[in-house]
Each structure stands twice: as C-alpha cells, then as structure tokens.
C-alpha cells in the first residue's frame, strides 16, 4: 500500500491502471476509520482491481462553529486499517494541495441540498459536492463506494453524477451499527459510554417509524412524529432532536400522507447528544 499526497501522482496512477484494463474504486473518507469504512473498503476491493482510499478532513464542508478543529484524527492508525482492508493507495492530501491559495470554483446543487441537513448546515453540501467532484477528477474511479449512513449526501452525489454526466458508478453500502443499533461514526468517540447506551434510542425510533408504516399501516405522518418525539422525551429527555422526517428517498420531498405511496421511504434524523451531533436513517418500502 502506498500513501500519496500529490494530486498529479494519483491521476497518473489511476490513468495507468485504467489503460491496462483494471477497474479502479474510490472510497472517500475523512479518516478516524471504523467498521463502517472498512465494510466499504472490503466490498470495493472485492468488486474491483485497485482500491484508492482518500483520507481528507475537508474544511469546506464544515460551517462556522462546527467541529472541524476537533474532528477526530489518527492517521497512523488509519493507515494500518486501510492496509488490512485491502487498500492499494491512500490519497491523503494537505488542504493546501486540494485548494491552493485561491480556489474560485464551487459545485452547488439546488433542491436536494435544501432540506433536512441543509436546514441545519447551510453550505455543507456545496463543500461535499465540490470536494467529491475534485476527488472523482483526481482518482478517476470506475466506481465510488458510499455508506447509507449519509443518505442525503448520497442523494446529492447521485444527482450530481447524473446531472454532470460523470462517468463513475455510485454504489451504496449498508450502515454498520454497534450491537445496540447505534450507527458507527467517527464522532461516536466523543460520546461517554452512558451517552452511547442511550443513543440506541435513535435507531429504535427509526425502526418504530418503519413498524408504524409497514405493520400498523399508519398513513398520517404527523401521528408518527408525535409518537417518536414522546419516545425520545421519555427515554432520553436530554437529547435534542433536530429533525425526524419521512421523505421520498430520491427527491427527499416530505411525505405527509402515505396513502397510496409506493416508492422508497427514507426516514432520517439528526440529534444532538451533549455537544455531539449524530445522524442516522432507515430506507424501506411499504
């Protein structure tokens, strides 16, 4: 496994493998790797010849007052995890290499970026779309592997790849969870063990939402929102639920009446647990 910090070098490496008929995969990450990331790497390696993992805490996707400075980092540990998971190359650039002294271009999407996370993290998806466009132009992968954990990010990137005719296939892998249901996240390292235990309520309310829709046949989403709020209030009164929304998984439009609805349903949430902001989601059909 090689660690590369230089954009041109990665472009040349990828070009070489593409010319020799090899399939190149990219797993983009912000590091502090866990089993969610390794599941993407293992699958990407299995389905392709060459695996490039990018590790870059992208400053442009963090807003003012967010946790860019304190985002967890442990690059040596990350290198070991990548090596064990079959990575061939790690692309680990400095911010200076990615953005230079001045960088005038921003990739902005409308609509899918404007709700859910967009309400709480303005500008976040501009940063994500821009850095992923750059990573796709640098690693030139046949396939990019992403986790379902970031459902809105996936919807945004799917749309961007389609709108901009980017020749990369997007593959979404299931969310890896702790035994109690808590989705693995680099930010879980900020949680105390008590907070981790209590955070199981988040997956619990997602499953409850699914159950109310698929088994109890509740069609008025307001009823579900009310029940979910009460469960969280009762089990973890100190948690601050920012949103819990039932939407169409592609358009991210909110569904108010599930009567006759046949598409894929996304229930997503964001919740502050102490000073740590967690997101999670579940996708299903009726």
For ligand AMP, the binding residues (CB under 6 A) are 29-30, 36-37, 39-40, 146-147, 149-150, 173, 175-176, 183-186
Closest residue by beta carbon to ligand AMP: 147
Q: How far is the CB of 233 from ligand AMP (least distance, A)?
A: 26
Q: How far is the CB of 37 from ligand AMP (least distance, A)?
A: 5
Catalytic center residues = 37
Nearer to ligand AMP, 37 or 245 (CB): 37
3-state secondary structure the chain: CEEECCHHHHHHHHHHHHHCCCCEEEEEECCCCCHHHHHHHHHHHHHCCEEEEEECCCHHHCCCCCCCCCCCCCHHHHHHHHHHCCCCEEECCCHHHHHCCCCCCCCCCCCCCCCCHHHHCCCHHHHHHHHHHHHHHHHCCCEEEEECCCHHHHHHHHHHHHHCCCCCEEEEECCCECCCCCECCHHHHHCCHHHHHHCHHHHHHHHHHHHHHHCCCCCEHHHHHHHHHHHHHHHCCCCEEEEEEEEECCCCCECCECCCCCCCEEEEEEEEECCEEEEEEEEECC
Nearer to ligand AMP, 146 or 266 (CB): 146
Q: How far is the CB of 146 from ligand AMP (least distance, A)?
A: 4
Q: How far is the CB of 123 from ligand AMP (least distance, A)?
A: 16
Nearer to ligand AMP, 39 or 85 (CB): 39
Nearer to ligand AMP, 36 or 209 (CB): 36
């Amino acid at each position: 496994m090689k660690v590369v910090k230089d954009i041109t070098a990665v472009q040349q490496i990828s070009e070489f493998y593409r010319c020799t008929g090899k399939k190149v995969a990219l797993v983009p990450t912000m590091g502090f790797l866990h089993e969610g990331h390794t599941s993407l790497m293992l699958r990407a390696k299995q389905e392709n010849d060459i695996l490039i993992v990018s590790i870059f805490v992208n400053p442009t996707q963090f807003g003012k007052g967010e946790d860019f400075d304190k985002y967890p980092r442990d690059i040596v540990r990350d290198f070991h995890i990548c090596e064990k998971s079959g990575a061939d190359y790690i692309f680990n650039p400095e911010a200076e290499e990615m953005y230079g002294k001045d960088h005038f271009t921003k990739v902005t999407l409308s609509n899918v970026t404007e709700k859910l996370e967009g309400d709480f993290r303005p500008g976040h998806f501009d940063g994500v779309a821009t850095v992923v466009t750059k990573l796709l132009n640098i690693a030139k992968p046949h396939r990019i592997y992403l986790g379902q954990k970031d459902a809105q990010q996936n919807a945004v990137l799917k749309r961007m790849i389609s709108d901009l005719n980017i020749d990369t296939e997007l593959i979404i892998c299931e969310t890896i969870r702790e035994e109690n249901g808590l989705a693995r996240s680099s930010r879980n390292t900020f949680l105390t063990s008590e907070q981790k235990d209590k955070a199981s309520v988040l997956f619990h309310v997602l499953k409850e939402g699914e159950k109310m829709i698929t088994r109890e046949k509740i069609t008025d989403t307001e009823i579900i929102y009310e029940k979910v709020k009460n469960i969280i209030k009762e089990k973890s009164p100190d948690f601050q639920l920012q949103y819990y929304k039932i939407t169409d998984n592609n358009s991210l439009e909110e569904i108010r009446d599930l009567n006759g609805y046949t598409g894929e349903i996304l229930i997503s949430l964001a919740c502050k647990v102490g000073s740590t902001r967690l997101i999670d989601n579940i996708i299903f059909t009726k």
